[in-house]
């Protein structure tokens, strides 16, 4: 449990971490910094008992990337395991360094993406379905059901990175100048202030919007 929590925090830190780079070229089969590999380096056991999302959290996410599993560095692959609460949303975001392939293990999930020609693609997934989000495109997932959804997301980089659109633009921590947002969105200064005040700074990345009042 402590480990899972630590990993969850790691993901959140990674989300805020804009100065990390994608998969480096490595010289050998694999690479660990400063030590030789043991068998345990090739295994990650942190997905055995992932807790469900707690109250107020839209989901639990456990990354299996170069940070939680250092031997992945340079291998061009990683996972994030998700448990979405009922109504839980992974808000619109993009991965600068990776395409994503999502597989629904349990429950239902509505997923959407917008391409660079501003076309919208939305799909209702059921357990067993797979959806792709091409690299760098804005996308989101939401569990519109009243039951938990579980999915595994694969990435084409051991360090896909995350840019959450809401936080990048409206977080008071980032503090994009109001005039930029007023012009871009046609908002009054007061409205910009309201949106900044209600935009999460970090965790939770997703939130049950209305306890399923607006869900099926």
Ligand X SMILES: *[C@@H]1O[C@H](CO)[C@@H](O)[C@H](O)[C@H]1NC(C)=O
Q: How many CB atoms lie within 10 A of CB 94?
A: 22
What DSSP state is assigned to residue 19? T
Q: Is the Cβ of residue 32 or residue 184 nearer to ligand X in the bound state?
A: 32
95 assigned ligand-binding residue? yes
Closest approach, Cβ 31 to ligand X, in A, equals 12
Partners of 133 in beta bridges = 100
Q: What span, in angstroms and rounded, lies between the C-alpha atoms of 86 and 212?
A: 7
Closest approach, Cβ 216 to ligand X, in A, equals 4
Partners of 83 in beta bridges = 60, 150
Which of 1, 18, 36, 54 is the binder for ligand X (CB under 6 A)?
36
Q: Is 90 an interacting residue with respect to ligand X (CB under 6 A)?
A: no
Which of 4, 113, 144, 164 is the binder for ligand X (CB under 6 A)?
144
SS3 assignment, position 132: strand
Q: Is 210 an interacting residue with respect to ligand X (CB under 6 A)?
A: no
Q: What span, in angstroms and rounded, lies between the C-alpha atoms of 58 and 61?
A: 10
Task: Tell me the two tokens of residue 160.
Answer: 């896909």
Q: Is 110 an interacting residue with respect to ligand X (CB under 6 A)?
A: yes
Closest approach, Cβ 41 to ligand X, in A, equals 13
Q: Is 211 an interacting residue with respect to ligand X (CB under 6 A)?
A: no
Contact yes or no for 61/45 (Cβ under 8 A): no
Q: Is the Cβ of residue 89 or residue 171 nearer to ligand X in the bound state?
A: 89
Task: Classify residue 43 by burial, with Cβ atoms within 10 Å: 0-12, 13-18, 19+.
Answer: exposed
- Residues in contact with ligand X by CB under 6 A are 35-36, 107-110, 124, 126, 144-147, 216
Binding residues for oxalate: 90, 95, 100
Residue ranges for the known binding site for Mn(2+) are 93, 95, 100, 139
């Amino acid at each position: 449990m402590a480990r899972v929590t630590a990993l969850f925090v790691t993901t959140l830190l990674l989300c805020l971490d804009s100065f990390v780079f994608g998969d480096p070229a490595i010289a050998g089969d694999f690479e660990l910094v400063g030590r030789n590999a043991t068998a345990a380096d090739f295994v990650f056991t942190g997905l055995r008992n992932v807790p469900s999302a707690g109250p107020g959290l839209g989901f639990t996410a456990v990354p299996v990337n170069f940070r939680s599993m250092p031997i992945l560095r340079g291998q061009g692959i990683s996972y994030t395991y998700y448990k979405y609460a009922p109504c839980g949303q992974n808000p619109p975001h993009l991965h600068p360094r990776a395409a994503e392939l999502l597989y629904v293990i349990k429950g239902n999930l509505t997923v959407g993406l917008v391409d660079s020609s501003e076309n919208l693609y939305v799909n209702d997934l059921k357990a067993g379905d797979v959806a792709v989000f091409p690299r760098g495109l804005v996308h989101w997932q939401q569990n519109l059901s009243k039951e938990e959804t579980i999915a595994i997301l694969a990435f084409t980089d051991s360090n896909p990175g995350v840019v959450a659109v809401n936080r990048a633009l409206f977080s008071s921590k980032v503090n994009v100048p109001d005039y930029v947002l007023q012009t871009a969105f046609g908002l009054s200064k007061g409205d910009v202030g309201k949106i900044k005040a209600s935009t999460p700074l970090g965790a939770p990345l997703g939130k049950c919007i209305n306890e399923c009042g607006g869900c099926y």
